[in-house]
């Protein structure tokens, strides 16, 4: 059985301040039978149970979680209620047409409000703040990307929801160095994901859902009597077994090549004082990022801290997901330098928390939702770091499939499976190349140099 990992081992601020004492729920002890059995106590599994009960309140549901609810990406992310779908608007339009692209983006934005509403109704104090999103161009070379993003929304008739800011207005919004412009999205916001995931689990238990923690799924059986065979017993399901492990699905043989687990690294400052915030700006508290290839995402917490997240540990051979590799990855110092590069006035600021986690990336960047009514197995995965909101959208679709509610006409993520990733060692070599090339591209751009000669190949291989 997998060794237990405590919340303190992870180091996540979200878990340390989640308004829950994190006392372990009992593990499964013996066999059980329910209508729906769910593997995974993160956002996907919890939202699936939530929407199943919205569709049919009489369903009996059991959730089994290998560690504890919020152990994975749900308790380690950047705290964004992102208005962005995992695939950007231009790529969505190319692949699926304007009508589907627009519909998918509107669903993403509407779910932001729905999550906030559910928090209000259930009394979950998740610090929901509908502040919007702000993406900075921090070099002249990033300005074309900013303009292209705005134009993609405009072509979909969504220009009212976004705004281009020139350099002066962008610097008024955020007093960072090297700000050349920005794109503001009015939808979106920030949230305390630890409070959300733990609060959602408690809300489900009030509705009769059984949650077993410290219970590892050893085998899944399909057919008329599907089941989860676990370390503590077997849970048989009358209606369906749902797999909601996101990046951790790669540990299951049938799903090993459906996703790759990629790491992301986060550091969190101590609360800043009023004078420090005057120099930082960012009074709106938007989801903050910039147009870089290695990704960055910043969140202003409710208690006045800055969360800075960026690239994680390099991809490990055969999709290995060791916790030790996360704690020992070498990017924490790199993030510290990035923060003071954005705001030199914060040089020497105290960092109180640091952590890392895995997110699941499908080969084509499109999430997958599927339910096989014959085998009675369903799954949802592949949010590429946009899981707080996208997981709820996909879980709602999965719950609809189980209860006979067909998704709308613009849901291409409802499909049997994502394309498989390449076999090893090609997978390892290709991903490591892209990771290295993206970093070199960002370094060259920041220095005002031409991109490296392999930039086009890296973008072809590594962008949707």
> Tokens for 380?
């949802």
> Which H or E run contains 394?
helix 387-402
pLDDT score of 328: 79
336: Cβ contacts below 8 Å, ≥ 6 apart: 267, 351
What Å distances lie between residue 151 and 3, 88, 158, 275, CA to CA? 49, 12, 10, 37
pLDDT score of 3: 84
The CATH superfamily assigned to 96-121+128-190+260-361 is D-Amino Acid Oxidase, subunit A, domain 2 (3.30.9.10)
pLDDT score of 313: 77
Q: Is 69 helix (H, G, I), strand (E, B) or coil?
A: coil
Of 406, 368, 379, nearest in space to 226 by CA: 379
CA 116 to chain centre: 17
Residue 78: phi and psi, rounded to 5, are -90, 0
> Tokens for 69?
């609810």
Q: Is 351 helix (H, G, I), strand (E, B) or coil?
A: strand
- Per-residue confidence of the chain (464 residues) as pLDDT tens digits? 688 899 999 999 999 999 898 999 999 999 999 999 999 999 999 999 999 999 999 999 999 999 999 999 999 999 999 999 999 999 999 999 999 999 999 999 999 999 999 999 999 999 999 999 999 999 998 999 999 999 999 999 999 999 999 999 999 999 999 999 999 999 999 999 999 999 999 999 999 999 999 999 999 999 999 999 999 999 999 999 999 999 999 988 889 999 999 999 999 999 999 999 999 999 999 999 999 988 899 999 999 999 999 977 789 999 999 888 888 787 899 899 999 999 999 999 999 999 999 999 999 999 999 999 999 999 999 999 999 999 999 999 999 999 999 888 899 999 999 999 999 999 999 999 999 999 999 888 888 899 999 999 999 888 88
Cβ burial, residue 142 (10 Å; 0-12/13-18/19+): buried
Give the whole-angstrom CA distance, residue 217 versus residue 229: 6
> Which H or E run contains 323?
helix 323-327
Give me the residue spans of the domains in the chain: 7-77+194-259+364-402, 96-121+128-190+260-361, 426-462
pLDDT digits (tens, 9 = 90+) for 189-208: 999 999 999 999 999 999 99
CATH architecture for residues 7-77+194-259+364-402: 3-Layer(bba) Sandwich (3.50)
CA 99 to chain centre: 25
Residue 11: phi and psi, rounded to 5, are 85, 5
Asked if 40 contacts 244 with a C-beta cutoff of 8 angstroms, the reply is yes
Give the whole-angstrom CA distance, residue 145 versus residue 132: 19
pLDDT score of 452: 94
Give the whole-angstrom CA distance, residue 374 versus residue 355: 41
pLDDT score of 168: 98
> Tokens for 294?
């290695």
> Tokens for 175?
């007093």
């Amino acid at each position: 059985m997998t060794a237990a990992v405590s919340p303190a081992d992870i180091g996540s601020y979200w878990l340390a301040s989640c308004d829950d004492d994190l006392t372990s729920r009992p593990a499964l002890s013996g066999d059980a039978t329910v209508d729906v059995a769910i593997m995974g106590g993160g956002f996907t599994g919890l939202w699936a149970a939530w929407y199943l009960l919205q569709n049919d309140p009489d369903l009996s549901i059991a959730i089994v979680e290998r560690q504890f609810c919020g152990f994975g990406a749900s308790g380690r992310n950047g705290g964004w209620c992102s208005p962005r779908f995992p695939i950007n608007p231009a790529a969505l339009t190319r692949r699926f047409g304007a009508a589907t692209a627009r519909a998918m983006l509107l669903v993403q934005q509407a779910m932001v409000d729905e999550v906030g509403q559910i928090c209000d109704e259930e009394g979950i104090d998740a610090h929901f703040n509908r502040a919007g999103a702000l993406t900075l161009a921090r070099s002249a070379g990033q300005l074309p990307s900013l303009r292209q993003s705005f134009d993609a929304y405009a072509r979909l008739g969504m220009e009212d929801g976004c705004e281009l800011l020139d350099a002066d207005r962008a610097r008024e919004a955020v007093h960072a160095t090297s700000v050349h412009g920005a794109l503001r999205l009015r939808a979106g916001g920030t949230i305390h994901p630890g409070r959300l995931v733990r609060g959602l689990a408690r809300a489900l238990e009030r509705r009769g859902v059984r949650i077993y923690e410290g219970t590892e799924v050893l085998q899944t059986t399909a057919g008329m009597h599907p089941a989860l065979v676990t370390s503590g017993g077997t849970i048989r399901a009358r209606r369906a077994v749902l797999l909601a492990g996101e990046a951790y699905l790669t540990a299951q043989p049938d799903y090993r090549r459906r996703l790759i687990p990629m790491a992301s690294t986060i550091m969190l400052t101590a609360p800043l004082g009023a004078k420090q915030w005057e120099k930082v700006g960012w009074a709106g508290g938007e989801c903050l990022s910039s147009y870089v290839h290695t990704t960055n995402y910043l969140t202003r917490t409710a208690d006045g801290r800055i969360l800075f997240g960026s690239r994680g540990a390099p991809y490990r051979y055969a999709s290995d997901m060791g916790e030790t590799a996360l704690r020992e990855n070498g990017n924490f110092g790199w993030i510290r330098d990035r923060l003071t590069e954005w705001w030199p006035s914060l040089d020497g600021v105290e960092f109180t928390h640091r952590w890392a986690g895995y997110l699941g990336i499908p080969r084509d960047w499109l999430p997958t939702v599927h339910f096989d009514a014959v085998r009675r197995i369903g799954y949802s995965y592949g949010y590429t770091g946009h899981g707080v909101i996208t997981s709820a959208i996909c879980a709602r679709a999965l719950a609809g499939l189980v209860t006979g509610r067909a998704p709308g006409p613009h849901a291409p993520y409802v499909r049997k499976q994502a394309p498989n990733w390449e076999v090893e060692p090609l997978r390892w070599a290709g991903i490591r190349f892209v990771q290295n090339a993206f970093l070199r591209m960002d370094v060259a751009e920041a220095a005002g140099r031409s991109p490296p000669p392999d930039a086009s190949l890296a973008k072809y291989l590594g962008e949707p």
